[in-house]
A and B are shown apart, each in its own frame.
Chain A
Amino acid sequence: MQLPVLTILFPLFGAFVTVALAWSVRSGGRKNVMPIAVGALASSAACAVVLLTQVLTTGSQIYLLGGWAPPWGISLVVDPLSALMLVVVSVGALLNLIAFSFTPSKWPLGKTPAFLGLYLLATAGHLGIVATGDVFNLFVFIEVAALSSYALLSMEGRRATFASLNYLLVGSVGASLYLLGVGYLYIESGSLNMLDIASILTALPLSTTTLTGFAVLMLGLWVKMAVFPFHAWLPAAYASASPAASGLLAPLTTKVMAYVIVRMLITVFPQNLLAGMSGFSSMVVWLACVAIIAGAIMAIAQQDLRRMLCFILVAEVGYMLGGAFLGNSTAMTGTILHILADAAMTLTLFMAVGIIIARTGSSRIQDMDGMFTTMPVTMLAFVAGALSMIGVPPFCGFFSKWYLVSGALEAGHWVFAGSLILSSLVNVLLFFRIFERAFFRKPSVAAVQDTGDWQQLAPLCFIALLLPAIGLATGGIIQEIIQPALKGVL
């Protein structure tokens, strides 16, 4: 009954209590903040999982906040797709927090509670973006997620601070453009509820206002999602942040924004809109091709493991964007699968690299020598993530790419299919370069062992094992979650 809102409320209350507790007792309260944060995220994840099973058996749930019926009040809409995303966000945030919870803090003055508060707020923001059924409420959730992200990403040296301010400037413009698009929709429809807007716009002839609103709104989301010409904030911010922060935000932010784009395309905007703007969507697919190739090329040039992953992420954003705009259901299935798969494998890779950074203090590729002998478990998980990123069956990355490529061929867009395959080949090159160093070369002098610290390695192993599991469950996911979402749409 109350599960949709509880999923969001647990991390929010966790954040308030964390801050209140940290300042209420002289120092005694600060010891309890970590269990509270983990507990809040675990409760949220449990709610999300139960919600997913409920939605799969009994159908979508609409939760009316304040009891006001839409379109007057705000509602949370949980259909199979958003329930799945809720699970992805809450479980991802939980695993990442557990993995980095024990990392000794070098922050002064009880900044750990503040960090945890911001971490929980960022998680709640992303959960809300996924769950909400109101376009303006989505903007407010974007800002909750964004403000806490800026702070989380700024705390690791001067490079991180500067990158974070750049992210703030770019991200605020992106969110403002989204708000502008919402304004155009409001002028045209007089409503803010997604389903209501959809029914009103379908009944109206397409107007310049709707088309401009669509374009501006998408532009704002692309900026937030780091699509190629607007991507510069992403590698700068994620590659210099603390491992716990980039491990939370790199998997979630871009994927949640991709989800919003999918949601806008399949739920909010009328289906004749993209058909009427075929020039626009083919331009977007070309942009996606450019993003994929540019991301791959820039990734080759990187000397730092995390920066390399960030540029691969830029290419992956291109996959999701292109698939969403190809305009057939196979490609859209591929996009949704890739949102799920990319969240899981980015989380695996960033967590593995984060653990390496926490242990050795370096993420440069040249320091990766002999990593298989010194940190075998971490490296095995890294390999799993890398193979999935390349697209080796049975890892989940293979299936989503399969659908994306078939969708591209179905639409007759050879260049998009070609860029996808090219970027996979580049990934092979990038990751095997690292495997070679880590497997064959002698470890450097100050070698650290990763065995024994299961609090850190268990979440990593769990998510790494999830990669083939998601891959093998692809058929079920498509049948139970993606097909209902796309029914009657494409």
Chain B
Amino acid sequence: MKKLTLAAVVIAGLLLAATTLDFPKWGDPQTPASMHVSARFIEKSLEEMATPNIVTAVLGNYRAFDTMLETIVVFTAGLACFFILRTRVTRESLDPAPSIKIPLDLAGEDLVVKTVARTFIPMIQLFGLYVLAHGHYSPGGGFQGGVIFAAAYILLAVSHDMRTALQHMSERATHLLSAAGVLLFAGIGVICMTNGVNFLDYGGLAGILGMPLATGHSFAILLIETGVGLTVTAALIMIFKLLSSHGAVQEGF
């Protein structure tokens, strides 16, 4: 059976590899992919939205609807993990599957680990904020910043324990934040609509705030990136808590 699978996979791979020879050469600047739609993005994004990072410009503005749905996918994943895993905390479930219990001397009792983590967490969070806010000028943006922020929280949880982590951010806070992020993003779109333009047309927001058009676009991108960051942070923290505690959230480890 395994040999049959291997043969099928190899044949499919050879066929697919043969078709790739029809592709333009790698690195060729004269391909349709590089000439048609993307050329305008490179030429116009600075003028239209004062954002030198073209990836951010496309992500946050030309294709902002994709980005909104991407954020909704993350929101859905958090909600789905809650729906699948969360268990009611009873006395029995307070002592979940002892086989995965980490021995006490490893479970966050080490002074060095705790101290180093406590020193580094604020710096990581600051870096996350920088990545989020500086996405207009350098690689970065809401998703990357949100992931770094969530990583800081996870570092807290693994260096201390789940109870400490929960004191800093409760389960309710993560759910509210993840909903707030997508609401912020889609809300910006709706605010634009109230000014008589289409959904996510940031010109509407610029009009309301009385900003120049390009500045308004740039500002709106920052706002939606913040929304993305909120949802990503909250949803990843939520997924981490649920997975690491077998759905009990209160206890864990």
A, B: real partners: yes
Q: How many whole Å from A15's CB to the nearest CB in chain B?
A: 8
Cα distance A114–B198 in the bound complex, in angstroms: 30
Tell whether, in the assembled complex, residue A208 and residue B31 are in contact, meaning their CB atoms are under 8 Å apart.
no
Q: Which residues of B contact A187 (CB under 8 A)?
A: 23-24, 31-33
Q: Which residues of B contact A186 (CB under 8 A)?
A: 33
Q: Tell me whether A258 is interfacial, beta carbon within 8 Å.
A: no
Cα distance A23–B182 in the bound complex, in angstroms: 15
Q: Tell me whether A13 is interfacial, beta carbon within 8 Å.
A: yes
Tell whether, in the assembled complex, residue A20 and residue B180 are in contact, meaning their CB atoms are under 8 Å apart.
yes
Tell whether, in the assembled complex, residue A121 and residue B72 are in contact, meaning their CB atoms are under 8 Å apart.
yes
Cα distance A58–B189 in the bound complex, in angstroms: 26
Given the interface contacts A19-B175, A65-B64, does A128 sit within 8 Å of B33 by beta carbon? no
Q: How many A residues face the partner with a CB closer than 8 A?
A: 57
Q: Tell me whether A74 is interfacial, beta carbon within 8 Å.
A: yes
Binary contact track B56-85/A, C-beta < 8 Å → 1, others 0: 000001111110011011011101111110
Q: Tell me whether A369 is interfacial, beta carbon within 8 Å.
A: no
Cα distance A19–B177 in the bound complex, in angstroms: 10
Cα distance A128–B70 in the bound complex, in angstroms: 13
Q: Which residues of A contact B91 (CB under 8 A)?
A: none
Given the interface contacts A20-B176, A209-B23, does A114 sit within 8 Å of B82 by beta carbon? yes
Tell whether, in the assembled complex, residue A5 and residue B198 are in contact, meaning their CB atoms are under 8 Å apart.
yes
**B79 touches which of A109, A151, A154, A155 (Cβ 8 Å):** A151
Q: Which residue of A lies closest to B176 (CB)?
A: A23
Q: Which residues of B contact A115 (CB under 8 A)?
A: 83
Tell whether, in the assembled complex, residue A67 and residue B182 are in contact, meaning their CB atoms are under 8 Å apart.
no
Cα distance A191–B179 in the bound complex, in angstroms: 33
Q: Which residues of A contact B180 (CB under 8 A)?
A: 20
Tell whether, in the assembled complex, residue A66 and residue B22 are in contact, meaning their CB atoms are under 8 Å apart.
no
Given the interface contacts A190-B38, A209-B22, does A144 sit within 8 Å of B176 by beta carbon? no
Q: Which residue of A lies closest to B174 (CB)?
A: A23
Q: Which residues of A contact B198 (CB under 8 A)?
A: 2, 5, 63-67
Q: Tell me whether A358 is interfacial, beta carbon within 8 Å.
A: no
Binary contact track B25-40/A, C-beta < 8 Å → 1, others 0: 0000001111111101
Tell whether, in the assembled complex, residue B73 and residue A144 are in contact, meaning their CB atoms are under 8 Å apart.
yes
Q: Tell me whether B116 is interfacial, beta carbon within 8 Å.
A: no
Q: Which residues of B contact A5 (CB under 8 A)?
A: 198-199
Q: Tell me whether B55 is interfacial, beta carbon within 8 Å.
A: no
Q: Tell me whether A406 is interfacial, beta carbon within 8 Å.
A: no
Q: Which residues of B contact A161 (CB under 8 A)?
A: 84
Q: How many whole Å from B192's CB to the nearest CB in chain A?
A: 8
Main secondary structure of the interface of A (DSSP, over half): helix
Q: Tell me whether A71 is interfacial, beta carbon within 8 Å.
A: yes
Tell whether, in the assembled complex, residue A118 and residue B76 are in contact, meaning their CB atoms are under 8 Å apart.
yes
Q: Tell me whether B186 is interfacial, beta carbon within 8 Å.
A: yes
Given the interface contacts A13-B186, A16-B186, A20-B183, does A147 sit within 8 Å of B83 by beta carbon? no
Q: Which residues of B contact A2 (CB under 8 A)?
A: 193, 198-199
Cα distance A186–B88 in the bound complex, in angstroms: 48
Q: Tell me whether A259 is interfacial, beta carbon within 8 Å.
A: no
Cα distance A104–B104 in the bound complex, in angstroms: 43
Which A residues from 321 to 340 make CB contacts under 8 A with B? none
- Which of A31-39, A133-141, A393-401 faces chain B? A133-141
Q: Which residue of A lies closest to B61 (CB)?
A: A66
Q: How many whole Å from B116's CB to the nearest CB in chain A?
A: 34
Tell whether, in the assembled complex, residue A12 and residue B40 are in contact, meaning their CB atoms are under 8 Å apart.
no
Q: Tell me whether A207 is interfacial, beta carbon within 8 Å.
A: yes
**A109 touches which of B37, B41, B86 (Cβ 8 Å):** B86
Q: Which residue of A lies closest to B64 (CB)?
A: A66
Tell whether, in the assembled complex, residue B202 and residue A66 are in contact, meaning their CB atoms are under 8 Å apart.
yes
Tell whether, in the assembled complex, residue B36 and residue A190 are in contact, meaning their CB atoms are under 8 Å apart.
yes
Cα distance A67–B197 in the bound complex, in angstroms: 7
Cα distance A17–B179 in the bound complex, in angstroms: 8
Q: Which residue of A lies closest to B178 (CB)?
A: A19
Q: Tell me whether A483 is interfacial, beta carbon within 8 Å.
A: no
Given the interface contacts A65-B200, A67-B203, A72-B62, does A188 sit within 8 Å of B32 by beta carbon? yes
Q: Tell me whether B3 is interfacial, beta carbon within 8 Å.
A: no
Q: How many whole Å from A34's CB to the nearest CB in chain B?
A: 16
**A118 touches which of B31, B61, B80, B197 (Cβ 8 Å):** B80
Tell whether, in the assembled complex, residue B32 and residue A118 are in contact, meaning their CB atoms are under 8 Å apart.
no
Most chain B CB within 10 A, of A68, A148, A187, A189, is at A68
Binary contact track B130-157/A, C-beta < 8 Å → 1, others 0: 0000000000000000000000000000
Q: Which residues of B contact A17 (CB under 8 A)?
A: 179, 183
Tell whether, in the assembled complex, residue A73 and residue B179 are in contact, meaning their CB atoms are under 8 Å apart.
no
Would you list 22 pairs from A and B whose C-beta atoms are within 8 A, ordered by A residue?
A9-B186, A9-B189, A9-B199, A19-B79, A19-B179, A20-B183, A23-B175, A65-B201, A72-B37, A118-B76, A121-B76, A137-B69, A140-B69, A140-B70, A189-B32, A190-B35, A191-B36, A191-B37, A208-B22, A209-B22, A209-B23, A212-B16
Q: A109-B86, A147-B80 are in contact. List 8 more A-B contacts (CB 8 A).
A: A20-B180, A23-B172, A66-B64, A111-B86, A187-B31, A187-B32, A190-B38, A212-B22
